[in-house]
Amino acid sequence: MHYVIHCLDHAGAVQKRLDNYEAHKAYLASARMKAVISGPLLADDEETMIGSCFIVEAASLAEVEAFNRADPFFMADLWATISIRPFNKRVDNRS
C-alpha cells in the first residue's frame, strides 16, 4: 500500500529545518522503508521550505507512523502538523 505523509513546519522554522537537514537526508538514505518520492513543500514564493511530503510504500499504517517518528525532523519538533493517509495510486503517466 502507498501512504502519503504531509507535514507542515512550525512558522519561521527554516533555520531549524536547515540545522537538521543532513541528519534527515542520512535517515532517508539508510531507512529500510524507501520513499517512492519525497521533498520539501514550498511557500507561494516557490523557494521557502515550509514542510515535507513523502509517498512511501509500506505494509501498514503503523509501519509508516514509526518511520515518521524516527525522522530527525520529527525529533527536532520541526513539524507543526503531520497527516498520514493511505493512497491509492491510479495514474502514473510519466512513461
pLDDT at 60 over 90: yes
- Options 3.40.50.300, 3.30.70.1060, 3.20.20.70, 1.20.1250.20; CATH for 2-87 is 3.30.70.1060
**DSSP-derived secondary structure letter, 60:** -
- pLDDT at site 76: 98
Coil/strand/helix, residue 89: coil
65 contact partners, CB below 8 Å, separation of at least 6? 84
pLDDT in tens, 8-25: 999 999 999 999 999 999
Q: Greatest CA separation found in the chain? A: 39
What cell does 38 get? 519525497
| Average pLDDT, integer, range 41-61 | 97
Residues 52, 4: Cα–Cα separation, whole Å: 10
Q: Which amino acid is at 40?
A: P
What cell does 81 get? 502538523
pLDDT in tens, 67-87: 999 999 999 999 999 999 999
